[in-house]
Structure 1
Amino acid sequence: MPEIIIRPPLQDATVKSLEPEKNFGATFYLGVGKAGDAVERALVQFPLAEIPAGAALKTAYLQLCLCENTFRAQPKEIALYRVLEPWEEYRVSFRKQPAYDPAPLSAVLLTGQAGGWISWEVSAVVRDWIAGTRPNWGLLVKMGDEKRLGVVRFYSRECSCSACWPRLVVSFAVGVCGAPLFTEGTETVTTEDADRGSTPCDLSTWRTVTVLVANGGPNPAVVQGEISADGAGWLPQGRSAILAAGQTYLFVPQIFLRFIRVRYRSAVPGCPTTLVVTWQAQR
């Protein structure tokens, strides 16, 4: 079974609550936990271009090299969370840290370790990133109990020793039979008076995609397909439409950019409705 080690990460950074506006993207370590009055968290994002097209992912592990573990005799649970929006290594701060899914992806318990590699399995989320069902905005690393004193620090990609850089260890199978040719996803949203956007779909590993929006609620809605190069700035693509109750809207992007989504709002102020957004893609 082939295995690759992806390092260094695309970007990584620490954020600290005691200095909520300050950026620590250039620091040689990634900190998590509570040091004095400051809570530290870490962000890390890996590129996935090294994974061969058509590869069927078997396992994926985030591995961080431990450089400091205060109150070492005290067990510490450190968990990973999926980041939900873009961030920038040399601009992110505690106050401007990206949103994250509150459900942990994986957790490990430190029980006295002073060094070495700490591993978290992240196979499910990496598989989603490769398939394009979720955008790859990286992972948040934080202590399970942020009120308890104790900080753990790992080497970042700014460390002078490249052997200690954060890494993503991926094993996969190569072959047409193991590579999915089709994928799909569904999201149910409720309109508001202001424009909102559906969860972005990453098209980097898919050739064609179609998005279907069905108005399953009682009121009309305005919908518009959008495309984006970075998942942050969006451009309209395709026609805008008003969907009455029970009607559907079909969006097929004619210009390729990496991300697509559907912008939506209530057609009548104060009259929300429920939309079911379904996308299907093939290689």
Structure 2
Amino acid sequence: MPTIVIQPSAKDASLESGYPTTNTGSDKNLWIGRYFIGFSGNSVYRALVQFDVSSIPAGSTVTNAILRLYIGLVTNSSIAANITPYLVTEVWDENTVTWNTAPAVNMSVFGTISAVTGPGWYEWNITNIVNGWVNGVYANNGVMLRTSETQNFETKNFFSREESVNLSLRPMLITSYEVSILVSLNDRRFAKTKTTYTTYDMMNFTNVNSSSAYSMMTYFVNNTGANPALLQLQISPGDDVWLNDGDSIVIQPGETKALVPFIYSQYTRLSYKNTNPGNSTTITVWYEAQV
């Protein structure tokens, strides 16, 4: 399974509410989080990061995509900043974007959350987002990193693509992918992928699959871990709304189940999470589709 390291980012910038018309696209260090909100001021930072993923072959299934940022400065290491990357849905210019001109964000499409405290490398899993970019489900306008913005002095600073002293500290995206294989059998064609996921307390999602070229599809799921997991098949006519298809199911350790859509739609995926908080498991998902 090929792995590609993309470094640095194609563009990045911070947005600050306290200076809503200031552009930071050329800064070597960019901020995320809430610095201070009170009677004397209002200062919240959000960061935009975009990578060029054209080196990943079109039609591939991205099985893992990890965004890595090096945090160099923090306002208060005892205050954790819970940072989440969200899908950006509009084009933005690194050299002109400001708080007032920030691009729109889809808050329902996001990566994992990382609790950032002191300096060092931190990671976010954005597999669903990158897979959508590669397969044309989402336009690649990058991600916006932000916190819940409820805690003063949580701000953290990361090295941008403009870092010129230690180039290894610039933003990077590490991706693994596999190419879908079409198999001919009695004049029928099948597309098949296999991916392993780890469940969390928060609901996460498998890669998005387009069914526009297929008439039948099935998800097979095997629980290879030690705890049960909750699964739900979801369908979508596009990239802006998802509906649950059928009832959610619980899959026990060692169990394998099949899920088939009741309603035909262009896009499908599975949502998954822990059934019991703190008790994660691993699931292997096969997606099979027939022309």
Match of 1:186 in 2: 237
Checking the alignment, whether the CA contact within 8 Å between 2:159 and 2:171 is kept in structure 1 is yes
Looking at structure 2, the residues matched to 89 and 175 of structure 1 have their Cα atoms a distance apart, in angstroms, of: 34
For the residue of structure 1 that corresponds to 2:145, the secondary structure is strand
Q: Does 1:91 align with 2:91?
A: no
TM-score by length of 1: 0.61
- 1:108 paired to 2:114: yes
Could you say if the C-alpha distance between residues 74 and 182 of structure 1 is closer, same or farther in structure 2, counting changes exceeding 3 Å?
closer
Match of 1:193? none
SS in 2 for 1:150: coil
1:83-162 alignment, distance < 5 Å: 83-103=88-108, 104-110=110-116, 112-115=117-120, 117-160=121-164, 161-162=166-167
Corresponding residue of 1:12? 12
**Aligned residues between the structures:** 190
Give the SS at the match of 1:87: coil
Task: Give, in whole Å, the separation in 2 of the partners of 1:114 and 1:8.
Answer: 19
- The answer to whether the 8 A contact 2:23-2:96 is kept is yes
| Aligned residues with identical type, % of pairs | 28
Deviation at 1:144, TM superposition (A): 2.1
Match of 1:43 in 2: 48
Residues 8-60 of structure 1 deviation map (CA, whole Å, 9 limit, x = unaligned): 11110011111101111001112101234411110011111111244332100
Structure 1: tracts of 5 or more residues without a match = 188-197, 200-276
Deviation at 1:173, TM superposition (A): 2.2
Q: Is the 8 A contact 1:54 1:176 kept in 2?
A: no
Q: Which runs of 5+ in 2 are unaligned?
A: 37-41, 183-190, 194-208, 213-235, 241-264, 268-291
The separation in 1 between residues aligned to 2:103 and 2:180, in whole angstroms, is 36
The Cα RMSD (Å) is 2.5
Return the alpha-carbon distance in structure 2 between the equivalents of residues 10 and 83 of structure 1: 15
Instruction: Note if contact 2:80-2:154 (Cα within 8 Å) is conserved in structure 1.
Output: no
Regions of 4+ moved over 4 Å: 177-183
Which of 73, 82, 96 is the aligned partner of 2:78?
73
CA distance in 2, matches of 1:179, 1:83: 29
TM-score, normalization by structure 2: 0.59
Matches of 1:144 and 1:182 in 2, distance apart? 32
